[in-house]
Amino acid sequence: MAKYRYQIRAQSGAVTAGEVVAGTIHDAAAMLRNQGYLMDIAPVEATVSLLNRIRTLSIDFGPSIKDVLSFTSQLSVMIKAGISIRGAVEGVADQIDNPKFKKIVLQIRQDVDSGKPFSDALARYPKVFSPLYINMVRASEMSGSFGHMLERIGGYLRQQVETRSMVRGAMVYPIIIGTMAVVVTVFLLTFVLPRFMVLFAGKESLLPKPTVVLLAMSSFMRGYWYLLLVGLGAALTGFFFAISRPRGRKAFDMLKLRLPVLSTMFRALYITRGLQTMGEMVTAGVPMLDTLQITGEVSGNVHFKAMWQDVYNSVKAGKKIAAPLAHYTLMPKNVVQMISAGEESGKLSEVLTDVSDFYSNELRNTIKAVTAMIEPCMIVVMGFIVGFIAMSVILPIFKLSALVKG
């Protein structure tokens, strides 16, 4: 059991504070819920054990996209069941485990109680709810299809989670193999090779060049390992500093579009993300200029963002979407043609949905193909490194054996 300090605001507006003893912070909140609006609750530091301190560290973590997805899905079900928005938000808040997100949801409920539209309450937290989310909710409030729109938003978020998971999964294998290659190489050069090369002491002039190079690398790593760590830290710091600048980010994003193996995957990812976002917002009835602006923001690549910004400027000037897209090689010609046909027929939302579904499947297939290509490449690289070290160790043995026989 632990002690928690709380602040509660009664219906009259009076704020009271006190302490309560409970097993967890959630139990304490449940005990206090009937007394009024729970403004704040936190453990009393003097009586919190180390284990409880570790457990409450999650209160500092912001909500993830999965938290928002769970919130949206539950809210959609409750709204479609006929529950009022206030009751639905309060009911969902009771099921949230993330304390910080729970506090946000309770504040949203309070804003709704005070008469604010739900979209305006969400807009107070732009780091949690994206512009796409807010604009789609605002459009549904105007059209009266709130529950259905939440379901569509949930489906969109679910696709984003799956896409992100697939891309990260494709990167896991090469990272693991690369890390293993580095660890094995460092172990061989710093521990195994020095002990083995004692046999060749005094015969350095007879050693072949690969062995001499390997010994020099081993000697440097054992004597100046701290310089390697400093160099690695400086390289990483320089890399993150560079991509935080416009020119560096532009160069890095272009590199991702030109890498021999990964470029296909990244290109499919950016196309899928852009068309999916655009299709959802057009279907929701969001104004086209807002749709294009948000599509550019969520694209994830500065070159795609610039393309959508150009489309935004053209549409603002009275032109159609397909016209500026035709000038860019980032978007496949057949996609531009389908968008043009959708504009002419008045079925743009259906065309965008179909194209985004096609590229979602294309992205899955591309990720599988990229993973299948990376695996043998990484194995060959690791085999080359270990083979070079083994050859450098075996060559002097053969050479010295030949000299002895001669």
- In the prediction, which pLDDT does 276 show? 84
Instruction: Please report the DSSP string for 31-45 in residue order.
Output: HHGGGSEEEEEEE-G
Domains in the chain (CATH in brackets) are: 2-60 (no CATH), 65-159 (1.20.81.30), 167-406 (1.20.81.30)
Backbone angles phi, psi at 285, to 5 degrees: 90, 20
CB proximity list for 403: less than 8 A, separation 6 or greater: 206
**Three-state DSSP state, 261:** coil
Q: Which residues of 324-333 are buried (b: 16+ CB within 10 A; e: fewer)?
A: bbeeeebbee
Q: Quick check: 10 and 35 in contact, CB under 8 A?
A: yes
Q: How far apart are CA 383 and CA 403, in angstroms?
A: 30
Give the DSSP letter of residue 96. Answer: -
Q: How far apart are CA 266 and CA 103, in angstroms?
A: 36
**Three-state DSSP state, 79:** helix
Alpha helices in 81-192 (DSSP H): 85-94, 99-113, 118-123, 131-143, 146-187
pLDDT in tens, the chain (406 residues): 677 776 666 665 555 667 777 776 667 767 776 776 665 566 664 433 444 443 444 444 567 888 888 888 888 888 888 888 888 888 888 888 888 888 888 888 888 888 888 888 888 888 888 888 888 888 887 766 777 888 888 888 888 888 778 777 777 877 887 888 888 888 888 887 787 777 766 666 777 888 888 888 888 888 888 898 899 999 999 999 998 888 999 999 999 988 887 888 888 888 888 888 888 888 878 888 888 888 888 888 899 999 999 999 988 888 888 888 888 888 888 888 888 888 888 888 888 888 888 888 888 888 888 777 877 887 888 888 888 888 887 887 777 676 665 5
Q: How far apart are CA 334 and CA 356, in angstroms?
A: 13
The CA-atom distances, in angstroms, between 236 and each of 124, 130, 172 are 35, 30, 19
Of 250, 234, 365, the closest CA to residue 303 belongs to 250
Q: How far apart are CA 244 and CA 35, in angstroms?
A: 48
Q: How far apart are CA 53 and CA 50, in angstroms?
A: 5
**Other Cβ atoms closer than 10 A to 197:** 19
- In the prediction, which pLDDT does 214 show? 83
Alpha helices in 208-287 (DSSP H): 209-223, 225-243, 246-256, 263-284
pTM (2 decimals)? 0.67
Q: What are the tokens at 266?
A: 């990244």
